Amino acid sequence: MNSLNNKPSTKHRHNITYLQEWGQWERKDGYLVREKRRYSFCGDCGYRKNLRSEEIETVGGNDLQMHPINFLNASEIKIANHILKELYKSNNKKRWNSWKDSLFKKWNFGLVEITIDKLHMHGFIIKRKRKDKTRINHWNLHRILFNEDFMVSIESFLKINKVKKQKWEEVPFPSLSPAGLGNAKILFDLILTNQKHYNNGGALIECTNGEKLVFPKSSGNSYLKIIRSLHGLYQLTISERHLFLKEFSQEFFSDTKLFSKSDRDKLDRIVGGIEKFGLLQSRNEVLISGTFSWEWDGEIGNSMAFKNYLALPRDMVSEIKLTKWQGKRLLIIENQDLFISVAKGNVLNKNEWIILFGSGYLSTEEYTVVGELISLGLQQIYFWCDLDPYGYFIADNFIKNTNTNIPIYLFGFNSNWFSKLPVYKELLQTDKSEIDKLLKEDIPFQIKEVLFMMKETGFKGEQEYFINFLDRKTFEETILAESIKLN
């Protein structure tokens, strides 16, 4: 048999078969390019002749998968959503020549091309081109295909729910090490009792006092959340640890908001008091950073004697009187990690600013502190909240409850910050309902713009990711420039 590169054999008539296959991806000018290789092949003697390639595929060569909302504007997002959804539904079998006319009728020609080019450049879309036989070195777009390597990102963008269940949903009753005495034994027995109910086919929770709670099918995963939280309490008890609500939710549900206050109250009813098992009802201190002094029980205190920030016991707040405060601006931060990062990072002048940690809606004690500051000449209040509808509600609720003439601002709640977030979380149905309500209200256009982006993309942002934006040298200027006046 002749080798592949030999000249044609003269001893027989070739049995020619025409074959083609896609070659390997090669990096070229920032893109990945591959050719469809064509050749003729004799099945009898092995003779092979390479033919000129007439098809190529190209795709952006960036290995970092950015979310489309980071590189598309609002109009382009709509087009991208339509294009990727059509490709996804057709399993990449859309023919460009027969499809493009309907796209260009629905949207501006240039905008469609720009959107496709951006998706192509960032790796979401592969362009397949055929050689133009009438022009030298020219390739015509033949098809566009979604990049299967980006499948997870595409399904996330299209809000196609293929998310795997968390382990605690699939295995609600993992094996437990036998407990000793006391609270650990109480929880251990309670979990085993409810496991028997589960094995018998009932979504039934038996409480420590013998009461039985039935969870209907319409309650979704509420039953599994309670079972998971019982295991969480057990882990806290045997390790002798204590957590607050958000910390507990993050550790055992991988989400600071998945285990809610209503879940906590339900758990409290089941175990007969959650604090003795390690889940604390609420934070016992008011965290504050700045330059100020106070009077309590005839004694004078000064914040300068404390490093970074001060933790005032909640039961002490109503008994103290602030006597002096240096700054004129107050920054209220919803996330504790972010509060600590700002306070420890010294990114704000303590003689100009005071920083208060407010976990969600302000508590009575936090309102008391703000009232004291107002009486000492506070001039501006800034809220730094999560990028979700409740972030706006927190600031708006403060305005309604205080009825103050002091300017109130919402910081970082704009499309620029939303598009820069490195991580997004999917909107819950309750989030979507609140967004729809807000969009009907008379609120600043910058906030409406962000809410529209949330609605279009199906995502929201949480404060812990804002830490990446802190720049010590320009942070104060950033707050003043990126804040929206609410009153």
Q: Which domains does the chain have, with CATH numbers?
A: 54-157 (1.10.10), 167-277 (no CATH), 285-485 (3.40.1360.10)
Give per-residue pLDDT as tens, 73-117.
888 999 999 999 888 888 787 888 888 888 888 889 899 999 999
Question: Region 411-430: what's the mean pLDDT?
Answer: 78
Structure tokens at 436: 């729809």
Single-letter amino acid code for the residue at 223: Y
Determine contact, residues 435/451, Cβ cutoff 8 Å: yes
Lowest-confidence pick of 311-320, 381-390, 392-401? 311-320
Find out whether 394 and 383 touch, Cβ atoms under 8 Å. Answer: yes
Mean pLDDT to the nearest integer, 389-397: 87
Query: Considering the chain, what is the average pLDDT of its residues?
Result: 82
pLDDT of residue 238: 82
Range with the lowest mean pLDDT among 3-7, 68-72, 189-193, 379-383? Answer: 3-7
Residue 2 is predicted with a pLDDT of: 43
Rounded Cα–Cα distance for residues 114 and 120 (Å): 10
Model confidence at 425: pLDDT above 70: yes
In what order do the strands lie in the sheet containing 299-302? Answer: 299-302, 292-296, 321-325
What is residue 422's predicted lDDT score, i.e. its pLDDT?
A: 63
pLDDT digits (tens, 9 = 90+) for 223-256: 888 888 888 888 888 877 777 777 788 788 877 6
